[in-house]
Amino acid sequence: MPPEQPSRKQLRAARRRLSRADQAQHARRVAQQAGISQVFLRARRLGFYWPVDGELDPSPLLRIAERLGKQCYLPVLSPIRGKALGNKLLFARKLPAERITRNRFGIPEPSRRGRHLAQPIALDLLVVPLVGFDPRCHRIGMGGGFYDRTLGYLRHHRHWRRPRLMGVAHECQRIEAISPSPWDIQLDWIVTEARLYSSQADAN
């Protein structure tokens, strides 16, 4: 029998247990690695996220992007409810004077709506949070299915994929193998404080 996998709850507890010093170091290391990757350097519009619950803090990478003059976006829960459009993410431009509110999960998000809201396809690179991952770039999220639903259209674009997907995480979130559900979207890369994983083992 394969060894039992840690649950979402256990994985979330493990990342919350990291010290502030480890959190800060992991965030810096991930930024150093991801910040020199071709996909990051080429991207003009990037989506990030506001870290909660011990998630890897992508803000050192976001600051590099801002310094390079790239356009940075944060996820917001779509105001639309309902089967087709509901429970998806849109992306709001992160601007210096942006007002921040909390969404229904208590996660901070930009409050301004309208002009600066983008669909994921408008982004070149999306930095994705996760609860657990395996070395083949399968992902377990918080369980809401938000990223899967938002990015489900990528399944129909084999050769032309936008945005490219970069998971960022702590090494302690790695599990041996995840059997993906049919709706799970595989990430292109995952970067941790220790190394970079690629869904195409030979690519960078």
Provide the binding-site residues for ligand FFO, judged by CB under 6 A.
49-52, 55, 75, 89, 105, 107, 129, 141-144, 146-147
181 binds ligand ATP per the rule CB under 6 A: yes
35 interacts with, out of ligand ATP, ligand FFO, none, CB within 5 to 8 A per kind: none
C-alpha torsion 137→63→87→145, nearest 10: 20
Nearest distance in Å: CB 132, ligand FFO: 12
By DSSP bridging, strand 89-93 and strand 132-133 are unpaired
Which parts of 119-158 interact with ligand ATP (CB under 6 A)? 140-149, 152
**143 assigned to a ligand binding site:** yes
Helix axes 20-34, 59-67, angle to 10 degrees: 40
- CB nearer to ligand FFO: pick between 42 and 105: 105
Q: Which is nearer to ligand ATP, 31 or 131 (CB)?
A: 131
Question: How near is the Cβ of 184 to ligand FFO at its closest, in Å?
Answer: 13
- For the stretch 144-151, contacts whose Cβ atoms lie closer than 8 Å and that sit 24 or more positions apart, written own/partner, are 144/87, 145/87, 145/183, 146/75, 146/77, 146/87, 146/88, 146/89, 147/89, 147/185, 148/183, 148/184, 148/185, 149/87, 149/88, 149/183, 150/88, 150/89, 150/120, 151/120, 151/126, 151/185
Least Å distance, CB 62 to ligand ATP, is 19
184 binds, among ligand ATP, ligand FFO, none (CB under 5 to 8 A by kind): ligand ATP
Q: Which residues bind ligand ATP (CB under 6 A)?
A: 140-149, 152, 181, 183-184
